[in-house]
Every structure is written in structure tokens, then in C-alpha cells.
Structure 1
Amino acid sequence: MASFSTQDISLSPTIITKPPAFRNSYFKTVYRWLDYKRLEDGAEGLWRIHDTLYDLTQFIDRHPGGAEWLQMTKGTDITEAFETHHISNVAEMFLPTYKVRMAKEPRNIRLTFDEKGFYRTLKGRVAERLDGLDLHRKRHSEIIQDSLVAVSFFLAFLAVNLNSILLAIVCGFAICWVMNCAHNFFHRRDNWRILVYNMVFLSYREQRISHVLSHHMYPNSVIDLEITLFEPFLCWLPEPLGFFKRYVSWIYEPVVFSAIIFSEFSKRIVELLLTRRNFFHIEDIVSLLLPIFMYATSSCGLAIVFKIWLITVISASFFFGFYSKNAAHHHPDVAHAGDLIPSEIDFGVYQLLTVIDRSNVDDLELNILTSYGHHSLHHMFPTLDHCLLPQLFPVFLETCAEFHLEHRRYPWWRLIMGQFQQLACVEQKTHYVPKKDL
């Protein structure tokens, strides 16, 4: 980011105004995060967008993206989600129909959307170019994901019939790529391809909360579930930590990654037992397809099938954690909660502060889909297919240059090393942006 004098600029170590009660919870789940958010967002049981409350109840079943998005966000502030999920102004034109009143409390989030700021400027330019995009590229994404699903089942067939641990690990890697590709689809309106994310006992519904509504809107903050759900085992925020959490975590991090799938599935069961609320849905049957297929297409006993399936799932979990935590966000050069940033900051500028793109994944569509390519653009316009993003890259760079903002791209090895450095980081850093771009 461009340097400037900090005189007369208020700095803050957080983008929220209230201490997040959720972070101190002894048992963290995505559903409890939503419950806490309803208490802290000042939405008064309605839907809050900026400083206005709306009653979208009558619109739920007509929502083009699917009813679930509005059902799960009732009672919360959806400003960031609304801005990033509606690139054109069509949805904004309909909002007055559902207006109830102004909110009583100021927003808990300090991110801004000034009409002349960086994000709104970029959003307007992207909206103008949407009609000119080569939409056939979206078909490429579908072919890639469908092919990876087929490859995963074929590798599972080989692994169980040859009783091969190595092939089971390779199958787990392929399933990780399937889940990474599914990430391209669960950001968007309901579609059947999001179901493959559930192949190994994870839930796309939960991912829509932890990844879309939490991480994408507030990356690297104390309300980013992709940080808080890993605490106290992995701590990427610059806080006073002992030697064990700072350095021994480098050693046990692979174990944590390997346990992600089983941990999240187990928490759903515990949450069900504690609250009597059902967090399982018909699409969870998808998780049984792989082991059933392995058993049905082999002459092996149940013990061998279970062994190969277990190794496959553990491998998929490890690779999924490795890819996601080394993708863009955890490097000492990006902002984390605890670092000082302007207390009022443009949403798009904040995204650039918390993201470093990988320089080696933006060439092939397979790399873009499986390795979270064009990450900065994706954070700002998550509903756009990943394979469309390269066409918008020139206008993105043009707007960054106009606002004197730096788009950073590092090799993957540098981001991997940086992720370990960030685990050990306890020093508070200051991240500067030009005052006009706040």
C-alpha cells in the first residue's frame, strides 16, 4: 500500500465496535456465531443493510439466490453480503418496498461503502462490463468440477480394489480439489453442484456461514470463523502467546488439518444433542455415496473398505486445510485483527489489506478453480464464476492504480512460509493506505 502521513487519521486494531462475545465461547459452531451476531448487529430481528432495517419475510421464497440466504441471515446486519452479492443496482431498487425504519444503533462494523470510494467505483465499472463477458467460461468450471468428481470415484475404486494406501491418499487429494471447486458454486444461487462439497461429511450449508458470510465479509478479523474456529490450536492473530502455540503449532498443524472434517461433523452432532435443533439435511446422504460405492464395486471385506475410506477422508481433510490456510490470508504482510488499520476503511481497501494473491495460479482455469486463484477479485465479487475473473482483471488493476493501491502477488512457497511466520507473530503492525481511499 502507498505510504502516507498518519496525522489526523484514527487507527484501530479491529473493524468491529463491540467485543465479540462469540470468541470467548467454550464451544464454537457456525450456528452459535449467527446467534451471537443477532445479538450484536442491532438488526432488531429484521435484516439490516447499512443503517436501515428491512422486513424481507415476504421476499424469502422469491429470492433469486435461494431462500436459505435470507432465512439464515434474519436478525443480522447483511450490509457486506448485500453489497458483494448484488453487483448491479437491481436489488437496491427494490429495497424501499421492504423498508421498516432506521436502525437505533450504529453499525458494529467499521467497513464503509462510500459512493466515490474504491469498492463502489470498482463495482460500478465491473457492472458495466458484465454484459460483455464471455459467459461460456462458466461451462468450463462445470466441466472441470464434474471431471474431478469422476476422477475421485475412479481413484476410490482403484484404491479399494488394490488395497492401496497411496491411491487412497491421491484420492483424498482429488476430493480436496472437488471441494475447492465446489467453493466456486456455493457462493452463488442454489445449484446441484454445491452438493459435492458434502462428499466427505462437511456441509455446504455450514460453509455458506463460515466462509461466505463470515470469512469473505470480515477476513482476518475476530469475527472471521476461519480464524476463530481453529483457536486455541492455531492462532494467526498477533496476540501474546506462549512458545507452545507460537512454534510447536508448526509441528502439530498437519494434525489439526487432518481432523477438520471429523471435528466439524462431530460438532454438528454435539450441537444437535445440546440444543435439540436438527442441523442435518437430506443432502447429507451424499456423504455416504463414496463408501457405499467403494463397498459395492469391490470384493474386499468391510474392514478394508473402511480403512481405505478413512485414509481418503483424512487425506482430503489435510489437503483441504493446507490449501485454504496457505491460499492468500496468513502472511505477515497482510493485516490481521490486532494490527493497526484506519478505523474507518473502505470495504475493498480492507480486502486488499488482508489478501495476497498467488502469482502462479492465474494462468490455467484448473489452477484458478482448485487453488483459489484471483483471490482479491473473488473476495470483492464472490458470486462471479472464477473462470470469469481473468476478464475483469484489467479494470481491477486500473482502479487500483487510480486509488494508489497495491495489488500484491507472491509465489505460493512464500505464502506457505509466511503462514508459519504468522503463527509465531506477536507484534502489532501498522498498515497504511492513502487517506482518500479509506
Structure 2
Amino acid sequence: MAALEPYLIFTPSVLRYYVHHFASVYIQLLAGILMYIEQAKYFIRLCMGLATFKLTHLIVYAEIPVLVYLSGSVSAGVWLWAVIQATASWVFINLSFVITTHHHDEIWHQGDTTISGDFGLLQAEATRDRLECVHSPFAMYMFGDHVLHHLFPCVDHGYLEVLYPVLLQTLEEFGVEATLLRYSMWESVKGFARQTVREYEHHISTIARRSKVE
């Protein structure tokens, strides 16, 4: 989130400027260079004494001599490294923010109201599953079983689908009706675009409580 601010604003109550209405467009241009922006910010903070030096931050640069050796040219090696980093940055931003179900105008964001204060139920309101990837071998990479991932973040993604019966049984035991919505990739992209310009708070109502059956 911090890497995308102030380029993108997801909190409904935060003031947006006119340029933010084009966020879903220019984020595609920024996505490829955000890695370089964050690295520059880190080194600036380091020089100002606001950050702590860690050797792990240099791991990404260890690729350069390897690529120079493999390509047989310093310029070619550095260029190849830059392309790899830009591509990885672009893919990461799109997978994590645009086509996943973290940011959609129907998903709970800070400032929205909800009928539930329960942590587990809020996880279901703050995330969605990807329609094409539920119960799929690619679920881990495309956020298929996303709600279960947020409920059980330490469980191997390959085992999440077997937890659906347990989740539904638990909801029934506590008298909760929950609609686990699933969005297609295209719907996720459209919802992301709407969320970046949403300036109003709304009520999330994908969960309803009923009297517990004794």
C-alpha cells in the first residue's frame, strides 16, 4: 500500500485530486518503475539517517554481475537486469492490486461501515475470490481461494480448498449467513478502477446474522 501512495488512494474519505481519476490508467505506466522509485526512496532515507541499512536490500543488485557474465557485456547485462526488474514490478503490482480482489468498490475499506465487528467476518468482507481460479492449481498465483487465504494465512495454499466445508459449518454453527462472492478478472479490473475514484463511504452487507439455531 505504501508503495502506491500517493499515486493511488483506496480509502474513500481521503481527498482526491483531479489526476486521481485517471489512476487506473497511469498505474500501468508507474507499475514498471515503482521498484526503482522505492529503491531511490530507501537510499535517500538511508542517507538522511531515517532508515537502517540491511544487507538483504542489496540482493537484487547481486543479479547484475551474473547477468553481465552471462551476456558477455556490461551494457547488455545491466539492460537485461533493468528489464527483468521492470517486468517483475509490473507483474507484481497488477497481480497484487489490479486483477486480484484486494481493492474493489464492493469490498470493505477503512471508513466503510459493516454490521460485523468479528475479525473473521471482516476478512470475508475485505476480500473476494477470483472466479476463474477457485479450486484451481493456479489458485496460489491468481488469488483463487482468497478469503480462506486471509483466514488461514499460514496454511499451504494447496490445502485451502479442503477448508471450505469447515468454514461453512462454522458459519452455520454461529448463525451467520455469508455470501462468499467471486469476481472474474474483468470484474476485478473494473471494480479496482471504481474504487480508486470512490469518494464516498458505504455500507458493506455481504454478511447477515440470523438467530443461532440451538
TM-score bracket relative to the smaller structure: 0.7 to 0.9
| 8 Å Cα contact 1:238-1:338 kept in structure 2 | yes
Is 1:288–2:30 an aligned residue pair? Answer: no
1:234 aligns with 2:8: yes
Kept in 2: contact 1:362–1:374 (CA 8 A): yes
Distance 1:378 1:314, change over 3 A: same
2:71 & 2:5 partners in 1: Cα distance?
A: 41
Q: Alignment partner for residue 118 of structure 2, among 346, 364, 367?
A: 346
Q: Indicate the residue corresponding to 2:28 in structure 1.
A: 254
Q: How is 1:13-28 mapped onto 2 (pairs within 5 angstroms)?
A: none
Query: Hey, what does 1:266 align to over in structure 2?
Result: 40
Given that residues 11 and 109 in structure 2 are in contact (C-alpha distance below 8 angstroms), is that contact kept between their aligned partners in structure 1?
yes
Letter of the 1:241 partner, please give it. Answer: R
How far the C-alpha of 1:256 sits from its partner, in A, is 2.5
Shift of 1:276: 6.1
Partner of 1:361: 133
Q: Does 1:405 align with 2:178?
A: yes
Measured after TM superposition, the shift of residue 436 of structure 1 is 6.5
State the TM-score, normalized to the length of structure 2: 0.85
Match among 422, 427, 430 for residue 200 of structure 2: 427
Superposed displacement of residue 249, structure 1: 1.6
Deviation at 1:277, TM superposition (A): 4.9
CA distances 1:312-361 after superposition (whole Å, capped 9, x unpaired): 1111101100000021121111111222224x600011111111110111
Which whole-Å deviations, capped at 9, do the CAs of 1:380-408 have from their partners, x for residues lacking one? 11111111112212222333455111111
Tell me how far apart the structure 1 counterparts of residues 9 and 65 of structure 2 sit (CA, whole Å). 37
Letter in 1 for 2:117: I
Q: Is the 8 A contact 1:268 1:279 kept in 2?
A: no
2:110 to 318, 328, 337: 337
Q: Distance in 1 between matches of 2:188 and 2:38?
A: 26
Q: 1:368 to 1:435 in 2, by over 3 A?
A: closer
Write out aligned runs for 1:65-80 (5 A).
Answer: none
Q: Are 1:305 and 2:77 counterparts?
A: yes
Q: Deviations over 1:187-231 (max 9, x none)?
A: xxxxxxxxxxxxxxxxxxxxxxxxxxxxxxxxxxxxxxx2x4422
Give the match for residue 155 of structure 2: 384
The amino acid across from 1:351 in the alignment is: Q
Give distance in 2, aligned partners of 1:276 and 1:418: 36
Correspondence for 1:396 = 167
Farther-moved stretch of structure 1 (380-389 vs 393-402): 393-402
Please list the CA deviations of residues 252-274 of structure 1 after superposition, one character each: whole Å capped at 9, or x if unmatched.
11122222212222232222222
Query: Is the contact between residue 24 and residue 192 of structure 2 (CA under 8 Å) also seen in structure 1?
Result: no
Q: Which amino acid aligns with 1:248?
A: F
2:177 match: secondary structure: coil
Number of residue pairs the alignment of both structures matches: 206
Q: Among residues 82, 86, 96, which one is paired with 1:324 in the alignment?
A: 96
CA separation in 2, counterparts of 1:430 and 1:390?
29
Q: Contact conserved, 1:355 with 1:375, CA < 8 A, in 2?
A: yes
Alignment partners' CA distance in 2, 1:333 and 1:397: 22
Q: Secondary structure at the match of 1:353?
A: helix
What are the within-5 Å matches in structure 2 for residues 120-159 of structure 1?
Answer: none
Sequence identity of aligned pairs in percent?
23
Q: Secondary structure at the match of 2:4?
A: coil
CA contact 1:400–1:407 (8 Å) conserved in 2: no
Q: Contact conserved, 1:332 with 1:418, CA < 8 A, in 2?
A: yes
Secondary structure in 2 matching 1:404: strand
SS in 1 for 2:31: helix
Question: C-alpha separation between the residues in 2 aligned to 1:393 and 1:290?
Answer: 41
CA distance in 2, matches of 1:332, 1:280: 38
Partners of 2:3 and 2:59 in 1: CA distance: 24
Q: Is the 2:129–2:181 contact (alpha carbons within 8 Å) kept by the matching residues of 1?
A: yes
Structure 1 segment 39-188 matched on structure 2, within 5 A: none
1:286 to 1:277, Cα distance in 2 relative to 1, 3 A: closer
1:373–1:386 contact (8 Å) kept in structure 2 = no
User: Is 1:257–1:321's contact at 8 Å kept on the other side of the alignment?
Assistant: yes
Q: Considering only CA atoms, is the larger Rg found in Structure 1 or Structure 2?
A: 1
Change in CA separation of 1:237 and 1:304 when aligned onto 2, cut-off 3 Å: same
Aligned partners of 1:277 and 1:324: how far apart in 2? 25
Q: Distance in 1 between matches of 2:167 and 2:134?
A: 14
